[in-house]
């Protein structure tokens, strides 16, 4: 049963009655934990870290204390992995935590959700707000950033003349590439007026266009010390750079807005110098390797050409001997040509004789074919006369039949054809009307009459 259920049922007071069965320790601790978590909200607590332990599981255990009290705290791995700085004993911090009870031991503790350095909450909030704003504008996109030149001709450094980071960068550059030209653009890197001067130094580097890449660096420090690199004007000046910018600010765990805006972030100033400069020792080593390979290849090529020259020398023959060999080969070819021509001529003669014999055997007998053709011509003429006679007889018979059917022949026998005004033959008295004019066609001529009477 939860604390809320006990409160709703007014069961807290009866728990104190002597008639109430005693609670187990685990039940008591569970009720106490639930009451704490439901009564005290998630809140910020300030204090000093002591007895910090980082367990192998990744969880952090520490005490948070002030001048007169302390409280145990736990921060689980799923939350502390988002902390980008390393807390240590003695640090003044602010934790956002839930008051609770560790039931197994009955210990009151704070379950920490997030952790920040004391007094820096406003700065962290400003940092996150500016970072989010610039990120939404696309200033941190990787597609915008440029790659560094592989072999820069000149390197620019924007930092303070008194910065320890400058010595580290110069030492690293001298060790890696001693002859590489360097241009220094001095500027304060700490203080309230540092940001505008950093902007001015960067713009001077852009305007003079002396360098292929620029290092913006300074050593480590607190968030207040590094704050000029979190200013919006510095970030926008870096983004507008026509030259690749490498940021090496603070230590590996220090992140600034300038790091996100730059084309490349280095964890330290020394690392920034290593990123922008080629390593002279490595280049010499690669050069020696390439030289060795080139000499080996050249030697191999010379050996191959020498061997090929010896082979060609063995094939080289005196011109007189070459001419003799050519003459002998020409004589042999001449003899073979004559033999081939004689053989081909004999083969053609034999073929011609065979064709002549076949032609003689296949020669036709013209007298026989002429007699056959004469006989067939006479038969064809007789057949034509017979066909014409038969055709004339059929034609005469058809003419006779047609003459009987000719209307003119009927008119010759005294008949006539009656037509109405429209030229239609009249077959029935119903086709005519009284007083209608009719045409009568006779065997010779025609007449026009008027109907005065009709009968059916």
Same domain, 214 and 263: yes
Q: What is the DSSP letter of 326?
A: H
| DSSP string over 224-275 | TTTGGGG-HHHHHHHHT-SS-EEEEESSTT---HHHHHSSEEESSHHHHHHH
Question: Are 305 and 178 within one domain?
Answer: no
Which phi and psi angles does 415 have, rounded to 5°?
Answer: -90, 165
Cα separation, 12 vs 6, in Å, equals 6
| Residue 380 covered by a domain | no
Beta-sheet pairing, 107-117 with 43-54: unpaired
> Which among 207, 240, 275 is the end of a domain?
275
Residue 360 lies in a domain: no
pLDDT of residue 22: 85
Q: How far apart are CA 84 and CA 76, in angstroms?
A: 15
Q: What is the distance of C-alpha 399 from the center of its chain? A: 95
Dihedral sign computed on CA atoms, order 40, 44, 48, 51: positive
Q: What is the pTM of this model?
A: 0.46
Domain that holds residue 446: 411-450
Are 149 and 270 contained in the same domain? yes
Claim to verify: residue 129 and residue 252 sit in the same structural domain:
yes
Adjacent-strand bridge partners of 73:
62, 110
Residue 437's beta-bridge partner residues? 450
Residue 3: per-residue pLDDT: 46
Q: What is the CATH number of the domain that holds 161?
A: 3.40.50.261
Q: What is the mean pLDDT of each run of 10 residues along the chain (456 residues)?
A: 50 54 86 85 88 91 91 92 84 89 89 80 76 89 89 93 89 90 92 90 92 91 83 92 92 85 91 90 90 91 84 77 84 89 90 85 76 89 91 88 73 78 83 84 82 81
Tell me the C-alpha distance between 74 and 60, whole Å: 6
Sequence-distant (6+) residues with CB within 8 A of 195 are: 228, 231, 233, 234
The count of structural domains within the chain is: 4
Length reported for the chain: 456
Which pLDDT score is estimated for 61?
93
Same-domain pairing of 209 and 115: no
- Assess if residue 455 is contained within a domain: no
Cα→Cα distances 65→48, 70, 81, 104, 198, Å? 5, 4, 23, 23, 40
d(CA 219, CA 189): 9
Domain edge (last residue) among 241, 275, 309? 275
Q: What is the CATH number of the domain that holds 52?
A: 2.40.50.140
Q: Is residue 367 part of a domain?
A: no
Q: Are residues 203 and 236 in the same domain?
A: yes
How far apart are alpha carbons 31 and 6 in whole angstroms? 10
Q: How far is CA 117 from CA 69, 97, 114, 292, 366, in A?
A: 20, 15, 11, 58, 134
């Amino acid at each position: 049963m939860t604390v809320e259920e006990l409160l709703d049922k007014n069961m807290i007071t009866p728990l104190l009655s002597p008639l109430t069965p005693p609670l187990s320790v685990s039940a008591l601790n569970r009720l106490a934990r639930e009451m704490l978590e439901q009564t005290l909200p998630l809140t910020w607590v300030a204090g000093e870290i002591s007895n910090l332990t980082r367990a192998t599981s990744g969880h952090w255990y520490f005490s948070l204390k002030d001048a007169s009290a302390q409280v145990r705290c736990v921060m689980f791995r799923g939350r502390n992995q988002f902390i980008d700085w390393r807390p240590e004993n003695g640090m003044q911090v602010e934790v956002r935590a839930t008051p609770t009870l560790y039931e197994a031991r009955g210990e009151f503790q704070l379950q920490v959700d997030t952790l920040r350095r004391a007094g820096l909450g406003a700065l962290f909030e400003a940092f996150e707000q500016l970072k989010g704003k610039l990120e939404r504008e696309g200033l941190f996109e990787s597609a915008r950033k440029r790659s560094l030149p592989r072999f820069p001709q000149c390197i620019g450094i924007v930092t303070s003349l008194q910065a320890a980071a400058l010595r580290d960068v110069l030492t690293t550059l001298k060790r890696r590439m001693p002859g590489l030209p360097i241009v220094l653009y001095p500027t304060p890197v700490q203080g309230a007026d540092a940001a505008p001067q950093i902007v001015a130094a960067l713009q001077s580097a852009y305007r003079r266009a002396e360098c292929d890449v620029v290092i913006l660096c300074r050593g480590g420090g607190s968030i207040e010390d590094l704050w000029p690199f979190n200013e919006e004007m510095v970030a926008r000046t870096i983004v507008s750079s026509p030259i690749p910018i490498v940021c090496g600010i603070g230590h590996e765990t220090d992140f600034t807005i300038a790091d996100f805006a730059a084309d490349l972030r280095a964890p330290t100033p020394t690392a920034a110098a290593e990123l922008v400069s080629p390593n002279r020792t490595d280049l010499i080593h690669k050069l020696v390797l390439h030289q060795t390979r080139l000499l080996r290849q050249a030697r191999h090529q010379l050996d191959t050409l020498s061997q090929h020259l010896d082979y060609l020398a063995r094939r080289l023959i005196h011109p007189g001997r070459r001419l003799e060999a050519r003459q002998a080969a020409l004589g042999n070819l001449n003899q073979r040509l004559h033999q081939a021509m004689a053989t081909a001529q004999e083969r053609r003669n034999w073929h011609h004789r065979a064709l002549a014999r076949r032609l003689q055997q296949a020669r036709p007998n013209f007298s026989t074919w002429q007699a056959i053709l004469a006989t067939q011509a006479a038969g064809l003429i007789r057949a034509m006369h017979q066909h014409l006679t038969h055709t004339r007889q059929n034609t005469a018979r058809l003419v006779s039949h047609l003459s009987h059917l000719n209307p003119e022949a009927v008119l010759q026998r005294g008949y006539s054809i009656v037509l109405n005004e429209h030229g239609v033959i009249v077959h029935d008295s119903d086709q005519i009307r009284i007083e209608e004019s009719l045409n009568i066609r006779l065997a010779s001529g025609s007449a026009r009459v008027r109907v005065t009477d009709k009968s059916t």
